[in-house]
Structure 1
Amino acid sequence: MSQPANVSQILSKYSPCDVSDGMAKHGLDGSLPNLLQYSGPAATVAGPAYTVEFALFDDPRPEVQYIDSVQKGSVLCIGLDKRLQVSHAPYTLVNNALYGGLMSTRARYLGAVGTVVFGRIRDVKEHRELEYPVFAYGTGTAAPRPAVKPVALNKPLEVYVDGFPSGAYATISPGDTIIADENGVVRLPASLPQSTVDQILDYIPRRVRADELVAQDILAGVGAISAQKDRRKGL
């Protein structure tokens, strides 16, 4: 199950920081940390997750082909088997890039709105020339083979985050809404009750407007703490 398409359209107007604030209001943490934006415009990417898992090349699971079935409007999310993830930079044991310029060329043609790679990428110049948004932990020069291969498509993807209050892993499920920009990446789970999603969507623009007023107050000489307390009252 995925969020309705209009959820992605609404959230594309806001930053991942705004979405995180909305989720925090309900005790939720959707942060997917340590990712950097390598290409694409300075605008928010929002769409349902289309997940791909890579594992070691000798993994008994057969290799799957994923790039020609990327769905229009989706955010391609590529991760590694849990055994290949580590808690410190660069957060992966794999030096090979999982994703390159030809993959962005195809994803963009099929209508994907961005790609998030929980690992390394290559061909940064190509991604930038395409003006296609790509987020990753880092870069590498070698292709995936012979180190790793894609083994699972549109299955839950576990990503090491190791932070409070998320715990050690976050699970990205197909259809979760992914929101990303130069600040980072956030996921809004598709499993949330619609009533909670509606409350988050209602809160975000009110919080954004309140913070705009806080900024105006600060520029007018009001203390930051006082301005925040006053403008955020009742949110």
Structure 2
Amino acid sequence: MLVVKKLLQYTPCDVSDALVKYGVSNGGYIPNLVKQSGPDSTVVGQAYTVLYAAKSDPRPAIKESYIDIIPQGAVLVMALAPELQLPHAPYVRVNNALYGGLMSTRASYRGAAGSVILGRIRDLDEHRELKYPVWSYGVGSTAPGPVVKVVGINVPVEIRVQLMEIDKDFETIKVNAGDYIVADKNGAVVLNQGHPKFHDILEYIPKRVAADTLVSEDIKKGKPAAESQKQRRANL
């Protein structure tokens, strides 16, 4: 897709700068993720979402295997229901791993771009041997089956994130199926395809990168950073 091809030229930091420009104060950043495997290059794909809930949740378990239908080029975004999340470390109430090496093996075969797991994963060596990109909050050893079940595929997922404001416990980052995920060793950013300025954001990214390249060149020649930033970004 044209959007994916364009975004592959940039980093999550570049996308965040553009999102801040257009009113997304957190830059679309999904915090606390650690890159566990895969090359350092940028990964881009549309979100293929999977939602886990507690075994006691009244919603029925999805019988279809999510990993067997993951689309080519997609980024798996796996989350827990909000009541199983924590806005502070360890970020989830579930100690079982949600995702393992066999899932990456299948995702890699299907041509998926990567997996962003908002929870624990296991089988680190398998992910790394595959060179398949995986991000997670942490690691574990136990499969998810005893405690959670898949209750949604390609449904909106919410991520609870702690805020600096003392009068608020957390904010919610939303990821919809089809949103764009841009990730590398800096972490993962979500670019909501429904953002009212979506196309403006895409147009701004290369302009901002070009301006900051000039800022870097100025600083290397001894020009004050603040002066150069003001000048080079003046017409963006």
Distance (Å, rounded) in 1 between the aligned partners of 2:28 and 2:126:
30
Is 1:82 equivalent to 2:78 in the alignment? Answer: no
Q: Select the residue among 44, 53, 56 that pairs with 2:54.
A: 56
Aligned to 1:116: 116
Structure 2: runs of 5+ lacking an equivalent = none
CA-CA distance at 1:36 after TM superposition: 1.1
Structure 1 position 103 matched with structure 2 position 98 = no
State whether residues 99 and 120 of structure 2, in contact with CA within 8 Å, keep that contact through their aligned partners in structure 1: yes
1:186 paired with 2:216, answer no
User: What TM-score do you get using the length of structure 1 for normalisation?
Assistant: 0.93
Residue 230 of structure 1 is matched in structure 2 by: 231
Match of 1:205 in 2: 206
- CA deviations 1:37-57 (Å, max 9, x no partner) are 111111111111000011112
For normalisation by structure 2, the TM-score amounts to 0.92
Is 1:27–2:28 an aligned residue pair? no
Residue 68 (structure 1) aligned with residue 54 (structure 2): no
> Aligned partners of 2:15, 2:147: CA distance in 1, in Å?
36
1:59: how far off?
2.3
Give the aligned residue type for 2:21. Answer: K
The Cα offsets for residues 125-175 of structure 1, whole Å up to 9 and x where unpaired, read as 11111111101111111111201121111111111123479x611111110
Aligned counterpart for 1:15 among listed residues 2, 11, 17: 11
SS in 1 for 2:98: strand
For residues 32 and 195 of structure 2, the distance between their equivalents in structure 1, rounded to whole angstroms, comes to: 24
Secondary structure of the residue that 1:210 maps to in structure 2? helix
How many pairs does the alignment contain? Answer: 228
